Structure 1
Amino acid sequence: MRIFKKLSDRIQKNTRLIFAITLIAALLFIYISPALSINAIAEKQITISANQVIDDDLYLSGEILTIDGTIKGDAILSGSKITVNGTVDGDLIAAGQTITINGTIRDDVRIAGQVLRIDSQAKIADDLIAAGASLENKLGSSIGGDVSFFGAQALLAGTVNKNVLGAMNSLQLRGSVGQNMRVTVIGDPNPLKAPFIPKPEVTIPDIPEGLTILNNAKIGGKLTYKSTKDAQIEQKSQIIAGITREELPYKGQQGTASNQFTPTPGEILLGQLQRLLALLLIGWLLLRFFPGWIPGLTTTIQTKPLPSLGWGLVTFIGVWIVVTLVPLISFLLSGLLVFTLPHLILPVIGIGILFALGISVAFAIFATYIPQIIISFLGGRWLMERLQPNKSTTRIMSLLAGLVVFVVLTAIPLLGGILELIIILMGLGAFWLWGQRGIQDIRDRQLIST
């Protein structure tokens, strides 16, 4: 179904950014539990002093968090202003408005926030994964693994021992990258700015849109970038294995045949044929193993077309309300459990996400196939009765005739999309009414038996 395909394509384009932000948020919700005490978590300002050693993992949430001491395990932090000057022997996972790292992290760093700073004294032993409005690693800082950043802008002035990956609007390289750099840099001169975001206490670097590489920059491997315009690369910069630019069409540019994919008539025909065969196979399976289901839904649409359409619209809205609210409620409930029953946080979030995912998948599968099969069976049966009034027709032939007409009509631009939406809503409504009738029949039989 084209509606779900467009949504899927859009989601796939932003998968890594969504994954990075969601992962950090989910980890924080799952793992935040009392570290020093429940009062410590509730405090606005929390400081781990320079002479303090935490022999386990550290979980903190507050307004201002400062880590000057040593954490022997992982540090998982959530706050408005987070500063790490000390040492973390494990991973650092943090989310906040401003995050500053000026200490030693002996494993990975995963951070999300508005302003992300890796100061000059920072030493990160392994990978840095970050998402936010601004990332800056200053001269003197070192990152032992890869840097993966997804956000608005990045200024890399320190040392990255391995690769740089990511997507942003602006990127400036002043430092060194040990291996390859592969990035998507939009270069939009008027990027979209999120409203109602508070101004950070620290200064955000001012760098030009697009990709710029200064004279003192060095890339030990290959530079591969996608952008709407050429990178600004100064002559004395060093890029050992060469440069490859991949075209990134800009929404303000007129599309050309070279950067837009136009399927050939043969490809369109093949796609529609594959669609026909998929619907025919699923329809045959339903008629073979559930012989009364499709005819029952067909009768519901035939006798109650307008109620089916209306209840379909209600069902469509209801499903997406449930899918949206259930995870939200589970996350809110997990926030309350932090202070009461922290061991239940993971089950609550897991059940909420699995329930919403199950409903979404079931709804998508149903809406992609079942309504089309129902309407095609109804239309095909009507068509075969008109073409061969004195001859009985098998169910599969009625379905095939209806599917051919359905595929042809829905392939028409605009009209096909409107028709398919109406069919989906009618199918959803018919399923709802059919289910209600089945429940009522069960109740009636129970009353008779008693």
Structure 2
Amino acid sequence: MRSILFLILAGVLSFALVDSALAAEFLSGQEVTIASDETWDGDVYIFAQSATVEGTIKGDLVVYAQRLHISGTVEGGVIAAAQEILLEGTYGRSSRIACQAAKVASGTEMKRDLVAACYSLEIDKGATIDGDLIYAGFQAMLGGTIQEDVWAAVNRAEVSGKIGRELSITTDSNHQQGPPPNQYWQDMKLVVIPMVSPGLTIHEDATIGGKLTYHSPTEVTIDDGAKVTGPIEWIEPEKPAPRDPQDKTDYFWNQLKRYVTLLVMGILMVVCCPATCGGAVDQIVQRPIVSFLAGVLAVPLSIIALGVVAGLILLVPMAFGWLTLDGLAVAGALIAVFGMVLYVGSLGYFFVFGAAAVTSITLGRIVFSDHPITSRGRLILALAFGLVFYVVLTCVPYLHVGVIVVAILFAFGGIFVWMMRGLFGSSAEKAKPAAKTA
């Protein structure tokens, strides 16, 4: 949680630095306290376990801590990320906070806006925000006075204070009441997280001076005595349409057609290149980690080779153009274009069909045989069996992209390792001296 809050803090620091015209002071330690009789003329940056501000800061206050308690005066704005934040005192400019729990206590005066992202936000009666409240979190309890608009996206909220203008809020009441939130964070010391009823509730002493717009699956609860000056607009989320059984049938047939297509294209590769398929599968089964890591290298190399082949379109005609024999330049161009088309087609075929075929054969090989498969028939049998698992795995939501990527890496890596072993293994065998016979 702290790392996330630190990223949020780092993102908003730039706004503070742009407006900063005074000298900045940096304070750090286990506990940092600015006493009530202290006055700091410039901006203050605090990095601590616990931060307490009782005095006066004439500039901005930027804090990253576990606990933050402000009861003094900040003539600038507050930018803070913490686990719990308790705001009292007076604030001259807009404040931006991110935490698990925040409380704006009674008597607090904020001259501008409050922007907050929290699990829980509570604004006590007697607290005043002269600007807007912009809030995103799990729950909110708004009991103070907000002079202008409130824009919020929460799971649940209760309004018992005064909102000067519009209230626009999104709630989700589908979550039932759970255990007290304080059970999740036992080390809370400054803020006690309140229990908030699901949905949106406007209590009898609440006043909304403008329009009430709420997005919610259930209607708002407005107690007798609550005042909503403007119109009330309820926007219900669209309910998902029931799935037509025909859609399930179409999905099944689409996957079946996909299986048949991959099977036919895989059989074509097995028939044309049985040694390559068998060799790649052997390397994946025997050296899975090496094959995977080789795939991480082989995939970008194949893309780089694509650029090399594309360069031949220019280099080959130029090379033949330097000769004086008629027609060689045209022939060179045709050869380069043919080579380009052949390579791009082969690469695209392997990305779309070949990787799935090699991976499926590997799955079938693991099930059917502990020994290398050399015959085309057994390769096709392993392909047909393993392809069932491949298609099923790629139908799983949030998993299909990962399965396809892993299959591509294993397939490219298996072929790359097989080619390297064939190349360097043959050279090593030729270089090895023959054994002498008696």
Letter in 1 for 2:162: G
Match of 1:56 among 43, 54, 61: 43
Give the Å deviation of 1:167: 1.3
Aligned to 1:24: 8
Letter in 1 for 2:203: L
Q: What are the within-5 Å matches in structure 2 for residues 285-300 of structure 1?
A: none
Query: Measured at CA, do residues 19 and 41 of structure 1 come closer, stay the same or move farther in structure 2, by a change above 3 Å?
Result: closer
Give the Å deviation of 1:215: 2.2
Match of 2:214 among 221, 224, 227: 224
Letter in 2 for 1:306: V
Aligned to 1:182: 169
State how far apart, in whole Å, the 1-side matches of 2:190 and 2:120 are.
Answer: 14
Q: What are the within-5 Å matches in structure 2 for residues 3-152 of structure 1?
A: 21=5, 23-24=7-8, 26-27=10-11, 36=25, 40-47=27-34, 49-152=36-139
Letter in 2 for 1:130: A
Q: Write out per-residue CA displacement over residues 224-253 of structure 1, whole angstroms, 9 at most, x where no aligned residue.
A: 1324x44321133233121305259xxxxx
Give the Å deviation of 1:124: 4.2
Q: Write out per-residue CA displacement over residues 309-362 of structure 1, whole angstroms, 9 at most, x where no aligned residue.
A: x549987xx9xxxxxxxxxxxxxxxxxxxxxxxxxxxxxxxxxxxxxxxxxxxx
Aligned to 1:154: 141
Give the Å deviation of 1:113: 3.0
Aligned to 2:355: 374
Give the Å deviation of 1:183: 1.7
Q: Does the CA contact (< 8 Å) of 2:360 and 2:390 recur in 1?
A: no
Give the Å deviation of 1:221: 1.4
Query: Measured at CA, do residues 56 and 203 of structure 1 come closer, stay the same or move farther in structure 2, by a change above 3 Å?
Result: closer
State how far apart, in whole Å, the 1-side matches of 2:286 and 2:69 are.
Answer: 56
Q: TM-score, normalised to structure 2's length?
A: 0.56
Aligned to 1:332: none
Aligned to 2:285: 306
Q: Does the CA contact (< 8 Å) of 2:42 and 2:60 recur in 1?
A: yes
1:172 correspondence with 2:159: yes
SS of the equivalent of 1:208 reads coil
State how far apart, in whole Å, the 2-side matches of 1:215 and 1:172 are.
Answer: 9
Q: Percent identity?
A: 12
Give the Å deviation of 1:111: 2.8
Give the Å deviation of 1:144: 0.5
Q: Write out per-residue CA displacement over residues 137-169 of structure 1, whole angstroms, 9 at most, x where no aligned residue.
A: 433411402321312443343215113211134
SS of the equivalent of 2:411 reads helix
Q: Does the CA contact (< 8 Å) of 1:166 and 1:184 recur in 2?
A: yes
State how far apart, in whole Å, the 2-side matches of 1:313 and 1:188 are.
Answer: 49
Aligned to 1:289: none
Superposition CA RMSD, Å: 5.4
Give the Å deviation of 1:106: 0.6
Q: What are the within-5 Å matches in structure 2 for residues 234-383 of structure 1?
A: 234-239=223-228, 240-247=230-237, 258-259=239-240, 262=243, 265=246, 301-307=280-286, 310-311=288-289, 370=351, 374-376=355-357
SS of the equivalent of 2:28 reads helix
Q: Does the CA contact (< 8 Å) of 2:154 and 2:171 recur in 1?
A: yes
State how far apart, in whole Å, the 2-side matches of 1:24 and 1:296 are.
Answer: 55
State how far apart, in whole Å, the 2-side matches of 1:18 and 1:180 are.
Answer: 31
Q: Does the CA contact (< 8 Å) of 1:28 and 1:78 recur in 2?
A: no
Q: Point out where structure 1 has 5 or more consecutive residues left out of the alignment.
A: 1-16, 249-257, 281-293, 319-368, 381-401
State how far apart, in whole Å, the 2-side matches of 1:245 and 1:313 are.
Answer: 54
Q: Point out where structure 2 has 5 or more consecutive residues left out of the alignment.
A: 17-22, 262-272, 297-349, 362-382, 431-438
State how far apart, in whole Å, the 1-side matches of 2:180 and 2:356 are.
Answer: 43
SS of the equivalent of 2:231 reads coil
Q: Which has the larger radius of gyration?
A: 2
SS of the equivalent of 1:42 reads strand
Letter in 2 for 1:262: R
SS of the equivalent of 1:144 reads coil
Match of 1:233 among 216, 222, 225: 222
Q: Write out per-residue CA displacement over residues 182-223 of structure 1, whole angstroms, 9 at most, x where no aligned residue.
A: 221435222585645324344443443332101232331132
Give the Å deviation of 1:428: 3.5
SS of the equivalent of 1:61 reads strand
Aligned to 1:211: 200
Q: Does the CA contact (< 8 Å) of 1:28 and 1:76 recur in 2?
A: no
Give the Å deviation of 1:47: 1.1
Letter in 2 for 1:242: I
Give the Å deviation of 1:28: 8.8
State how far apart, in whole Å, the 1-side matches of 2:277 and 2:164 are.
Answer: 63
State how far apart, in whole Å, the 1-side matches of 2:50 and 2:2 are.
Answer: 25
